[in-house]
Amino acid sequence: MAENGKPKLALYWAASCGGCEISVLAIHEKILDVAEAFDIVFWPCVMDFKVSDVEALEDGEIDVCLFNGAIRTDENAHMAHLLRRKSKVMVAYGSCAMEGCMPGLANFYDRERIMQFVYHDSPSTDNPDGVEPQTRTEVPEGELTLPGFWNTVRTLDQIVPVEYFIPGCPPEAKWTEAAINAIISGELPPPGSVIGMDVTVCDECPRERSEKKITRFYRPYEIIPDPDICLLDQGLFCAGIATRAGCGALCPQVNMGCRGCYGPNEGVVDGGARLISAIASVIDAKTPEEIDAVLDTLPDPAGYFYRFTLARSLMERTRLERQNGHKVARPLEEVPRLDPALKE
């Protein structure tokens, strides 16, 4: 608690786009309630705080930390450990912190291939000297440093213990408001809970679904969909069939299939595998050749099925275990937490 009796609140971004910061402001005038109820001690995106301000706090002095963004660099991991130590309650806020989100798609490649493409092979790159960022660089004025770039994107709870999860890319304002109200009232759910709904986007979607079988997928520019009929029934890829509700089915209501940003429902171990299973159930094909023909109309299947969840998928979990000398993947809660110095 602060001297004024208010609980202390910290907000931080790691490997993220900034959308989660904006989503906090999307609660509109309720932000005034936040300012009245909390003493905001760290929010570098909005106010001029320094890391030294956090380091000066006593361990556990921050009551709640809303941490958004995946863990991609040494700095991300350092701040996750620092804020975890200083906070009583750690909240993984948004898809990047909770599932890895789109930054997690980089796990299909290693650090060297990413650097090669970004700084050498990209069509827009003009780098004749082949310069790549270094963690330490000597210049006439002294030494410049950059945080180390990890080989693998991690979720927040793969690095530090997390009490609560708020899904979404970014979370809808109503869930941010619900979380803040629960914190203010002291009526938080049990630790480990996801603050949100436990049905699928289909349950929120007003479109009529007949569970029609499809023989091909269409890109959004290829057809004009009926505004009242399920997009999946019309052959447009929609992840709502296997995605946690809570957004109000915003994308389907503007003729765009659900992207899956709220992640899988409770109890689902691998969101991408669950989505693959759900989509497979609507494909009208009997032979391997027919199945291949349908799937050939779906470009970038890895990007569709694991767009938001690759960093915590079974594939990635198996990869983590093999790095530790194990041959079989184990549940995430049994995987040893990574030392912040381990970047491979």
Alpha carbons 14 and 139: distance in angstroms, whole number? 27
Show contacts of 185-189: CB within 8 Å, 24+ apart: 188/89, 188/164, 189/164
The hierarchical CATH code for the domain 8-102+152-185 is 3.40.50.700
Q: Per-residue pLDDT tens for 189-241?
A: 999 999 999 999 999 999 999 878 889 999 999 999 999 999 999 999 999 99
Could you read off the pLDDT of 286-305 as tens digits, one per residue? 899 998 999 999 989 999 99
Q: Do the Cβ atoms of 38 and 47 come closer than 8 Å?
A: no
Say what percent of the chain tops pLDDT 90.
Answer: 76
pLDDT tens digits along 50-62: 999 999 999 999 9
What is the separation of C-alpha 278 from the centre of its chain, rounded to a whole number of angstroms? 21
Question: How many Å apart are CA 155 and CA 331, to the nearest integer?
Answer: 15
Confidence at residue 316, expressed as pLDDT on a 0 to 100 scale:
60
Looking at every residue in the chain, the average pLDDT score rounds to: 89
Q: Is pLDDT above 60 for 132?
A: yes
Here the tokens at position 209 are: 């679904």
pTM assigned to the model: 0.87
Q: By C-alpha distance, which of 315, 326, 320, 319 is closest to 338?
A: 320
Which amino acid makes up residue 120? H
Q: How far apart are CA 205 and CA 231, in angstroms?
A: 10
Q: Indicate the pLDDT class of residue 320, thresholds 50, 70 and 90.
A: low
Mean pLDDT of 270-278: 95
Q: Where are the domains of the chain?
A: 8-102+152-185, 107-150, 197-327
Q: Is the pLDDT of residue 1 over 70?
A: no
Tell me, what's the pLDDT at 340?
39
